[in-house]
Chains A and B, each alone.
Chain A
Amino acid sequence: MCLAIWQILLKLKKMQQHKYSGLPISLGVSLGVLLISYGIGSASISMGDAFRVLLHKLFGTPLPQTIQPSTVSILWSIRLPRVLMAFFVGGALSVSGAVMQSVLQNPLASSYTLGVSSGASLGAAIALAFLGSVPVLGRLSMPVFGFGFGVLTVFAVIAISSRLDRNVQSSTIILFGMVISLFVNALLTLVESLNHEYMQRILMWQMGSFSGRRWFHVQIVAPAALFGTFCLLWFHRELDILSFGDEQSMSLGVDSRKIKRILLVLASLMTGVSVCFSGTIGFVDLITPHLVRKVYGASHKRLLPLCLLYGGSFMVLADTVARTIISPREIAIGAVTALIGAPFFLWLYFRKRD
């Protein structure tokens, strides 16, 4: 599947007469992926019926009487929000990953480098183990605590790095990101060992899933992903310059100390919002920026919107596999992204070396 995606991407590149035409073509590809994934599922509903329901809901076209209300409900209230949720989470993680890689000048950095995932997992575990369901927050206890702890962890990493290193160099941030992640992971292990009965739920949350995600979740994550991408896109020239390193950035006129912190916080907030509703899903944030850079170049003006589209599409495809391959059971999406992503990444790496 990955090889096929890669071939399609290369063909798309050749089709482009102009480098900026990548966006409309990629938009078309993403729309296609969204529609196909919306049409595929464990419930035996034909692709035709799925599209009729979509047209009915969007444009009010008449619905054939053969389509049951339960089918409409499955498609509109369960499958479509799930597909959209996967798209926006995948997109947000990929954009965030691209920014982290550029700001830290490290192609192996990811949206989790600053400890968002460790912090979010700890927050979710605390909410589950000690607080039960907080009355005011209800079902949102885990996401809210996950988001809060994830963001707090990032702030801690940036605050400590800034205090100890006046220039907030990338190596310092990566080092403290690792150290604090390990510390937070140790706290997580402690919480888990004191609360065996919740261990499985915590583990499931960490592996990630889009099961049971509804329009309510999409209404939070979609604007966050779109607005976050726009905010980061605003800094596309600074991101291009920061990719060359701190000293060069300063010499070209970028206040790297200040801009870096803004970008890291923005990218981490995007990751935090995504992770708190889906769990920590790896690889998409690492692999999408690499693929997009290879095909469309490194300029962030193109890279960020394309990461949103292709990262979203990759996650939608992975979720389709996760929910259909051993239907009616599901597998954790984190396992699917890693199973596809790891060999693909290796193939890409060795292909380049050859």
Chain B
Amino acid sequence: MSIRLQNIHAGYGKTEVLHGITFSVEEGERAAILGANGSGKTTLLRVIAGILPAQGDVLLHGQKLSEMKRRQVASQVAMMMQVSQTYFSYTVEETVLLGRYARTEGRFGKCTPEDQAAVDKALSLCGLTELKDRSVSTLSGGQLQRVFLARTMAQDTPVILLDEPTNHLDLKIQAELMGHLKEWSKEKGHTLLGVYHDINLALSMADRFIVMKEGTILYDGDEKALLEGDVLQEAYEMDVAAYMRDQYERWKTKGL
């Protein structure tokens, strides 16, 4: 499913955060949104998910998002947000099953075999099968993040939006989980649009890179031009390449 944004202006109250954003993402494309804090990355995802109202048009496969019902949007676009706490003691399985809401019509019946299969698959891919009966209020930040990723996967939508999906995960889990997610989205032909703080992770997850600065798009292109040019330096206001080289040298000199 393709996403098209036309001259998007959005913000909070009287503060405008996005200033006339226009771009499109084609079906099955995996794109990363990069940029410094406050550049409007998360706001952009919120607009695409229909959570934040905006001026301008967001088109999902040609259809205006503003004319779609919430349930219809949720069956097309899933967004994994940054969540650090929960208030009530749902089990992991119950929480992941909520991802099927937009696809299930019944009120009091048991979940369908299709729903259960989607939940089981998501739990398994996120390494949560053993924890499925645990209360989410007893989980660590990293485990909770995996639960919300599993719920996003269970939603099984053609477009998946990820807002810093790995900030609570250790390196091993991060590598495994993102690998599974990439394979899974590739297999299903899903469009994946993610906000990543870790540039290395973004490079491993995406083929296209959108760099933002102060609510506008600074760069939209592939990996080669991103790394060769000075876009990252301009976006983060530091010499990113030099920093990465320093890190690499430290690894080399320590003999690792």
Q: List chain A positions with a Cβ less than 8 A from chain B.
A: 102, 105-107, 166, 234, 236-237, 240-241, 243-245, 247-248, 250-255, 293-294, 297-299, 301
Contacts and interface: CB of A to CB of B under 8 A. Distances in A.
Given A252-B101, A253-B73, A254-B101, A297 B90 contact: yes
B87 A253 contact: no
Given A253-B71, A297-B91, 10 more contacts: A107-B88, A237-B101, A244-B95, A245-B83, A250-B50, A250-B51, A252-B98, A252-B155, A254-B70, A297-B135
| 8 tightest Cβ-Cβ pairs between the two chains A and B | A253-B74, A253-B102, A298-B88, A253-B71, A255-B70, A251-B79, A298-B90, A250-B51
A297 B93 CA distance: 12
A243 B50 contact: no
B75 interface: yes
Contacts of A166: 53
Residue of B53, B88, B108 contacting most chain A CB atoms (<10 Å): B88
B78 interface: yes
A197 to B, nearest CB: 46
Contact of B89 (A105, A245, A294): A294
A241 B87 contact: no
Interface in B122-177: 135, 155
A247 B98 contact: no
A248 B75 contact: no
Interface of B: 46, 49-51, 53, 69-71, 73-75, 77-79, 81, 83, 86-91, 94-95, 98-99, 101-102, 104, 107-108, 135, 155
Given A247-B51, A253-B73, A240 B78 contact: no
Nearest to B75: A253
B15 to A, nearest CB: 15
A170 B24 CA distance: 34
B106 to A, nearest CB: 9
11 contacts: A105-B87, A107-B88, A234-B107, A237-B104, A237-B107, A250-B49, A251-B81, A252-B155, A253-B73, A293-B89, A297-B91
A251 B51 contact: yes
Contacts of A293: 88-89
A243 B87 contact: yes
B81 A252 contact: no
